[in-house]
A and B are shown apart, each in its own frame.
Chain A
Amino acid sequence: MNQPDEDTAAPQDSAGRSEAADGDAPSRRRWWPIAGAVVAVAIAASLLVPASRHQWALSIIRQPARYTALSFRYAWLLPTSNPSSRTFPLFFTIRNEQGHTLNYHYIIRQSDAVGSQTLSTGAQAITSGATWFVDTKVRPTCSVSPCRVEVVLPGHAETIDFILTVTGAVRPHKRKPAARHGHGHHSSRS
């Protein structure tokens, strides 16, 4: 349509190229191959140095996130009370996403206003990307509500827990202060 011609590029030929662009035709682009070669050599050289290779990796490739995931397996079925200090099964998983095999040690403990007590422990090496499905049994013996049963991984910040309401009085002498090691089925799956 009515394309304005004031302040436009220099007059253009049929291919839309300006006359001014023709001025230095014989010598143009000679430095491009040289510059390209220099850049290619510089990139190749940088790949030989581990530190700069790492920088290239950070710029191009996704670096995996490192973490450990701790979770209950049937979280919607966790108990809310334990009136007669019964033993009940507890299923949880530990997933290793740390990028290398790690020894995981878990502790299940109860805590209330009176104090805390270890209920169960266990340990296993988990390869990277694998999940340890822990099936165990615990017998919380809290005397005061609320009683929190928690799973902790010493050396890791992750923790999971659930709250129990103590409905019946528990005599102190029946409480077992000693730690009980976890039992039941331990398996590891990828």
Chain B
Amino acid sequence: MRTDSPALPVATPPPPPSRPARWREYLSREHPWREYPWPVVTSVALVAVVNVAVLANLPLPPFIGPAIGFWFILIQPVYLLHTTGLWGQARGAERLGYSLAGVIFGLMLAGLAADLVLPVVGLERPLDPRPVVLLADLITVGLYLLRRRYPGPRPDRRAIAAVKAAITPLAGRLLAGSGLTVVLAIMGANRLNNDAGDLVSLLALALGVLTVIFLLLWRHEVTETVIMVSLYLLSLALLLMTSLRGWYVTGHDIQTEYQVFQLTQANGRWEIANFHNAYNACLSITILPTELADILRVDGPYIYKVFFQLIFAVCPVLVYAIARRYWPVATAILACVYFISFPTFFTDMPFINRQEIGLLFVAVAVLTITNGSWDIIRRRLTLIAACVAVEMSHYSSMYIFLGILAIAWVIERVLALRKGRTSAAHAEPPPWISVPRVIGIGTVVAVGVVTIGWGFLATQSAGAVLTDAKAAVSGLLGHSAAARSGNVSYSILFGKTATPQEVLNDYTKAVLKIRAATSGDTSYLEQPGEVTRIKAVAQPALPLTSAGRLFADAGVPVAGLNTAIRLAAADAEQVFVAAGLIAFAVARRFRKKVGWEFLCLGIGAVLMLAVVTIVPDLSVDYGLLRVFQEALIMIAPVVVTGSMAIFRPLGVTWAPRVAAGVAVAILISTTGLLPQLLGGYQAQLNLNNSGQYYDSYYTHPQEVAGATWLAWQNGVLPANVEATHASTRFLFTAPGHVTGQQFIEDAFPPLLRQRAWVVIDYSILHTGLATAAYDGDIIPYRYPLLFLSQSSNLVYDNGGVEIYRKGLPKRGHQAAG
């Protein structure tokens, strides 16, 4: 078409910005590599490197080799699963949680399948490095094909540019702060291990607290991805500060966890018959660490010390994601702060690796229950799968979670019936009554069947739960002494528990009973009466620092202040939970805000906590604080809501600020920052080379040398070693010595036997104190070393450990051979 009007000036498009030519552009159009971007090529190359290194048993450089191995066995599969279309509308952290849990569960199941099938076809060691690397290849290829079949959102160039743009100066400061906290935490732990003081660890804690404060202040200025990455790094720093203490396996449960891991690795397969024990029934500490160790090829303890912590640090992020379903960012951050500032998180979880994996699956289960974008069948099936994973990872976490689910279901039914009657009389029933629920009777029964199937039938390792149930019922009916852990004293339901001396007296009585019953076939050392009258002593507190002395000079009772803050923190969290639940009961707008099932889960978690606190023996066998940590996955945002409700009279502006201040103050106190700055309180392991955990659980090189020497002596196995504190530190875990037939008895003075090898550890030699563990409490007492040295031979001494053995009559003289 022609026109007479003058031609409009045409805006010429600007020339495309010049950029360097990409390597693929040099390839011919038909070249197959043109199709693949560089990340794919790099991935294939790294997979090849790991395969060659493992199959040919070639060493990879330190740090780089384990990093590539971790990427190969976990990060890449998680990325592949993360970028499938299986997760629907799920957002970043939630998607990551499902993917991580899926891959870990897949690794455990694949290992179990290999363990069962490969020996049938003649491969006796299915968990050796070569089968495992091929298994990981299969998983990777399978996930790659799954992603091709169900493609999901993948980070393209625009998304990467958006992520880069999201790192604003404020975001950069938050990420740098949290990243530096991790670095300082690692360096601080190393310095403490090298006896170089606590300064760097203190800096790490101070920086971590500052980062939390700025995270709260700048939450509007940064993206949620930045918030979640920061929370992950802060959680990781807290975990590593404890897990990296000591150059060997440090901690309580981790000692037996390491034994069953080494047993699986030494045998090249997992078999419950090798060690019929509840620990050995947990695939999270048998098959999973063996698979990781086969690929990463680091010292065994570092599988738990580093790589399990890298995995578990995702759990607080999932707590954030759960809270974010119904609450704003600030509440979700504070929920995460309550989760990580609970003492069990950083003082005990690094020593209970099976529970770390178990709690990760519990968090995923809660995410599944509350995921409204999935249909009900899918949510139920995923919940059951998550529960299978919890059961295979950690039996106790499953019992507690099953209890919570059952209570939540009962509450839901009762409330639905009440509501239904009321509504039928007056109006239309509310819509949630007719909506199908994830936590139905079918789901609860299915989860129960899973628990029974694995614990009682498959592994036959759950007998203890029946014993505990009997003891609990017997205690409730008053037929037996009702044992309760000292941790119950933190509960507002139970103020008073037995004193340390009373617990020690009970232990002595029980021990003397055992001694009397077994004296027919066991020769015990004859002991004067004063040796058996053992006195509990107080664990020495940290001396006051110069800052503490300043306060003390000003009339502030520093020691009392620290204790008061701790007790107030414990009480405050419980009051906040109660206030939060009351707020939901009273205020309709709160109820409407959260999902109905989530509310029932929260009430279920609180009631389960009450049950464990009130019913005798449960607080001893399951650990009240560990149950609280598990419950916090569901009730952490309720705690925050409760705190805000309590501070509501302060006004709309100040209530959230004070609530946030209280949460940060609890973090400052429980992590040990405040007690360490002032002194006058019990020393914490993450900051000191002293204190109860250090004395009980820290393994010194001299102790390892002593245990190695002991392994080569005659008459040691199966049960002829006695040691105090966490005596399982002296289990033989070297590949040539590890067995499931070893038992180390407490070297409590009345239990000292004639034929036993008695290990006197570093702490007794340096403090004179040993500890007795009874009814979930750890009681220090002065060890009668003089009695032992006067009555037995001192056969090994390296300054850090002494080993005694009573000379045996009629054995003749020493002889070569």
Contacts and interface: CB of A to CB of B under 8 A. Distances in A.
Interface of A: 1-10, 12-18, 20-22, 24-25, 28-29, 32, 55, 58-65, 67-72, 74-81, 86, 88-91, 95, 97, 135, 157-163, 165
Shortest beta-carbon contacts, A-B, top 9: A15-B162, A7-B328, A75-B795, A1-B372, A69-B798, A65-B701, A59-B187, A162-B793, A80-B807
A161 B169 contact: no
Contact of A160 (B163, B372, B714, B794): B794
A22 B164 CA distance: 12
A7 B795 CA distance: 68
A1 B329 contact: no
Contacts of B793: 72, 75, 78, 160-163
B327 interface: yes
A95 B796 CA distance: 11
B713 interface: yes
A76 B756 CA distance: 10
Contacts of A91: 814, 816
B223 interface: yes
A12 B593 contact: no
Interface residues of B, number: 76
Given A1-B370, A28-B169, 12 more contacts: A2-B372, A7-B329, A12-B223, A28-B168, A58-B196, A69-B709, A72-B796, A80-B808, A88-B814, A158-B799, A162-B794, A163-B793
Interface in B573-618: 593, 595
A85 B159 CA distance: 88
- B165, B372, B714: most-surrounded residue (chain A CB, <10 A): B165
Nearest to B197: A58
A9 B191 contact: no
A125 B125 CA distance: 46
Contact of A78 (B170, B224, B807): B807
A60 B190 contact: yes
A69 B163 contact: no
B812 A79 contact: yes
B813 A89 contact: yes
Nearest to B219: A9
B219 to A, nearest CB: 6
Given A7-B330, A76-B715, A89-B813, A70 B797 contact: yes
B519 interface: no
Contact of B328 (A6, A20, A65): A6
Given A1-B373, A17-B162, A24-B168, A80 B705 contact: no
Contacts of A163: 791-793, 807
B816 A59 contact: no
A25 B164 CA distance: 11
B719 to A, nearest CB: 16
Interface in B322-341: 324-331
Contact of B329 (A9, A90, A162): A9
B798 A59 contact: no
Contacts of B816: 74, 89, 91, 135
Nearest to B702: A67
B371 interface: yes
B223 A162 contact: no
Interface string B216-233: 000111111100000000
A17 B187 contact: no
A74 B807 contact: no
Contacts of A4: 324, 326-328, 593
Given A9-B223, A28-B168, A79-B807, A89 B328 contact: no
Interface in B703-761: 705-706, 709, 713-715
B200 A75 contact: no
B523 interface: no
Contacts of B593: 4
Contacts of A157: 799
A162 B807 contact: yes
A44 B327 CA distance: 47
Interface string B50-78: 00000000000000000000000000000
B236 interface: no
A71 B804 CA distance: 11
A25 to B, nearest CB: 7
A21 B172 CA distance: 11
Nearest to B166: A17
A63 B200 CA distance: 17
A24 B170 CA distance: 11
Contacts of A67: 701-702, 705, 798-800
B811 interface: yes
A50 B772 CA distance: 45
A9 B811 contact: no
A23 B808 CA distance: 82
B815 A74 contact: yes
B92 interface: yes
B225 A16 contact: yes
B797 A71 contact: yes
B171 interface: yes
B596 to A, nearest CB: 12
B713 A75 contact: yes
B37 interface: no
Contacts of B792: 163
Contacts of B372: 1-2
